[in-house]
Every structure is written in structure tokens, then in C-alpha cells.
Amino acid sequence: MKRLKSWVDIPKDSDFSIYNIPFGVYSKGSGHYAIATAIGDFVLDLDVLHANQYFYDLDLPKDIFKSRYLNPFISLGKPMTQTIRLRLQELLMEGGVLQHDLKTNREAFIKQGTVDMLLPLDIGNYTDFYSSKEHATNVGTMFRDPSKALLPNWEHMPVGYHGRASSIVASGTPINRPYGQLKDPAKESPDFGVSKRLDFELEMGFVIGRGTELGDVVPIHEAREYIFGMVLFNDWSARDIQVWEYVPLGPFLGKNFASSMSPWVVTMEALEPFRVPAPEQATKVLPYLREQRHDTLDIHLKVAIQPKNSLETEVCQSNYKYLYWTMEQQLAHHTINGCNIKVGDVYASGTISGPTPDSYGSMLELGWKGTKPIPVSDGTTRTFIEDHDRVVMRGHAGDQHQRVGFGTVETLVLPPKKILYDND
């Protein structure tokens, strides 16, 4: 790829290099919002650029960048959104015309950390997959016969379930520990109470950029045209609620109380240089899942736990490339029955675990069902997440010469809200 140099001062380890140009939404206060991109340590307001005629030749709607969500912008279609992304790269490159427009710069560039970044999408539908062979094997080993850790369907299709879109929140939004039914193995009946086994799940999500009608399918060879970009995603799980409820219909209250998402959507065009071969699928898949290019993305992922009044402790290093099922296979399978999709829908990968214990993407695995406590910075240990812990996930592709990152998705866990209930 051609080396690009920006006139903006960008730290070497910044996720938001000139190769990236992600899209997000920030609050301008008093009910006003703007679509922005990130460059180095700055948020760049695209509505200001639009008002100053930097997109004058693109025939854009006047208020396209004043939207609360990215959905109308994404609905312009990939040819237009990619044109805008490339225009922004030109403006930010050394010698670009924006460099000397001091008036526009003063209005458009805002220091990151001084504004509130919002959930960037109006998410109509959310699906969570189960696409890591290592994660599925680990969980199957813990809860079933290790010789039959993977269920018979797992290598034939991307397993998934429909989650709860309304409880997806932006990075920085605290969540409360959930209540639910808890079944002590030594008792015949369940009790009601607070989850004691709250867990993170290290995931990524892809965002739909083009809708379909009910009855239509997305062919595997066209799937990439329907995917706008990707985000970091934390699919929170209450393991003790989940284990009692999931038979026979799968996840419900153990999952739908909260999921956390990063505020910047990184486009597939920015991630394209980081494609690598996907894991070999030894079991032959059905024709509708067969890819001409069976590849994936090399995205480095990390998770840290920060106890109250203490420093972060890194507990996991994983990589998106470990996933057995690709996002194209996930989307083709999701729609093969005619299920319609909408712009802004989010499809999460499932927990991303690698081949080594330090690459496991959940506390369930890292602490191996509570049997292997993990030391953290305040001198205590963790088998699951405790109140007042902050969980921080990071992800990036490339290196300091061509880095494309996602920033962070971080969440503070608060004690449960007080409710009245009768457990007798």
C-alpha cells in the first residue's frame, strides 16, 4: 500500500491513523449531534466540513452529518461513503487543502476525551454467533463429555441466536449486575438472587450496510457488499443465570441485560489490507457456505481488568483471525432462509478465543469455571468480574507504520439496583 503522511500530529501508537478514517457520532450538547471521524487524538466534525463546502461536489443531503445515528449516512451506499472516506484522507494528507484553512480547523477539530461519543447506530436487530472453535471446545469440555465437546452441528453451520438490541450500550456506559434465577447443583429448586458469575466475552461485531427484503438471501460471494464495517463488542454474560436457563431454547436473561460496543465503526475498506487465510475447515460445508476466498482479518485483541482505585491488569491477548467461521459465512447462513436484514443491524462474532490459555476470551475460560483465580493489580484475584471492576477491550490491525484500530470499549460494573422481591 502507498505510504500516507498526514499534516495532523498523530502519535505512533494511535489507532486512528490516516489509514483508518472510521465513523462515529458525538454529542454537541443540548440535543445536537454530529457525525465525525477520528484522526490521532482528535474528533473531526464532518458537519463543519460539509458547511464549509468540502463535499460541495458530492450532492449530499444538507443535514446528512447532523444525524443522531450513522444509519442515514451508511444508507447512502458504499460508493458514496467510500468516496467521502477517501476525500477525508486527501484533506488530512500532508499538503491537503484543509491544512491551511485555520478557521475551519478551529471549528472542526475537537480533542478526544472532551466530548461524549455515543452509540453510533440505531440497531434494529442484533445476532450473536458462536464462531470460535477453541471457545466452543472449552465450554463443551467444561459442561459436557470432553470427547464430545462440539455438538454435531457445530462444524456444519455458524451457530447463533437472536439477542436484545435495546440493551446494547456505548463504551463508557456503566452496567448493573443482574438478577435472575440461580440453581445450586445441591438443591432441587432454584433461588432468585444476584448473579455471582458475571463475565465478559471478547467479541467483534460487523455492521450491515445494505438491507434486503423478506424472502431474499445474501449469496456467499456477495456478502462483503452488505457489510459496512466493524466494532469491538463485549457480550456480557451472567454464567450462573445462563447455565440454568439455556436448555432447551438457549440464551435469554443471562445475556440480554447488557452488551457494550465501541463508538467508532471502522470500515471494511480500511481493514482490507489485513486479510489473512482463515482457519481450515476440515468438515466440508454445504455449497451455500463455500467461499472462493476463505480469508479473515488479522486484528489483535486485548482485555484488561481494572479494580477500583487501581491499575489495569491485562488478562487476555487474542486475535480475530482465530475464528473458525467468517463473517461472510455468518451472513450467508443468517439469510439463507429468507430472513431480511436492515442497515445498522449488528452481528457479533461470539467469544474470540485462541489456542493458548492467555488467549481465551472470557473469564469462564481464563479462570476455568472458577478453579484458576487470576491475580489483578490490587493484590486480589478474579475468577469472574466483581462490582466496581472496569473491563477494557482494545483492538487494532497493522503496526505503527499502518495502524488501523478501534479505540476501546470499556465498562464499569456497578452493584445491582435495589429491587423488592420475595424469595420464599
Q: Which CATH number covers residue 198?
A: 3.90.850.10
- Residues 154 and 131 grouped into a single domain: yes
Q: Which residues contact 202 (CB under 8 A, 6 or more apart)?
A: 234, 301, 303, 316, 318, 351, 352, 353, 361, 362, 393
Residue 420: inside a domain, yes or no?
A: no
- Residues 80 and 222 grouped into a single domain: no
Q: According to DSSP H, which parts of 276-360 are helical?
A: 327-335
- Residues 266 and 336 grouped into a single domain: yes
In this structure, are residues 385 and 413 in contact, taking their beta carbons and an 8 Å threshold?
A: yes
Q: What is the DSSP string of 70-115?
A: SHHHHTT-HHHHHHHHHHHHHHHBTT-GGGG-HHHHHHHEEETTSS
pLDDT tens digits for 333-365? 999 999 999 999 999 999 999 999 999 999 999
Between CA 68 and CA 344 the distance in angstroms is 13
Enclosing domain of residue 246: 126-414
Q: What is the pLDDT of residue 135?
A: 97
Domain termination residue (choose one: 47, 82, 111) = 111
Q: What is the pLDDT of residue 423?
A: 59
Q: What angle do CA 22, 27, 33 make, to 5 degrees?
A: 80
- Residues 58 and 196 grouped into a single domain: no
Residue 421 among known ligand-binding residues: no
Which CATH number is 64's domain given? Answer: 2.30.30.230
Q: What is the pLDDT of residue 419?
A: 86
In this structure, are residues 33 and 25 in contact, taking their beta carbons and an 8 Å threshold?
A: yes
Residue 351 among known ligand-binding residues: yes
Residue 372 among known ligand-binding residues: no
Catalytic residue among 50, 135, 333, 396: 135
Between CA 84 and CA 58 the distance in angstroms is 9
Per-residue confidence band for 401, with pLDDT thresholds at 50, 70 and 90: confident
Q: What is the pLDDT of residue 424?
A: 56
Identify any residues that bridge with 175 across adjacent strands, giving them in sequence order.
413
CA 379 to chain centre: 30
- Residues 322 and 366 grouped into a single domain: yes
Between CA 178 and CA 194 the distance in angstroms is 6
Residue 135 known to be catalytic = yes
Burial 225-257 (b: 16+ CB within 10 A, else e): ebbbbbbbbbbbbbbbbbbbbeeeeebebbbbb
In this structure, are residues 142 and 370 in contact, taking their beta carbons and an 8 Å threshold?
A: no
Find the mean pLDDT for residues 209-214.
98
In this structure, are residues 40 and 9 in contact, taking their beta carbons and an 8 Å threshold?
A: yes
Domain termination residue (choose one: 63, 88, 111) = 111
Residue 128 among known ligand-binding residues: yes
pLDDT tens digits for 150-204? 999 999 999 999 999 999 999 999 999 999 999 999 999 999 999 999 999 999 9
Give the end-to-end CA distance of the chain in Å, rounded to a whole number.
Answer: 66
Residue 421: inside a domain, yes or no?
A: no
Residue 300: inside a domain, yes or no?
A: yes
- Residues 182 and 307 grouped into a single domain: yes
pLDDT tens digits for 228-263? 999 999 999 999 999 999 999 999 999 999 999 999
Residue 17 among known ligand-binding residues: no
Domain count, the chain: 2
Residue 181 among known ligand-binding residues: no
Strands (E), 171-226: 175-176, 179-182, 191-194, 198-199, 202-208
| 421 pLDDT above the threshold of 80 | no
Residue 235 among known ligand-binding residues: yes
Q: What is the pLDDT of residue 149?
A: 93
Find the mean pLDDT for residues 34-56.
98
- Residues 78 and 173 grouped into a single domain: no
Q: What is the pLDDT of residue 351?
A: 98
Between CA 295 and CA 278 the distance in angstroms is 4
- Residues 136 and 216 grouped into a single domain: yes
- Residues 407 and 361 grouped into a single domain: yes
Cell of 130: 458462536
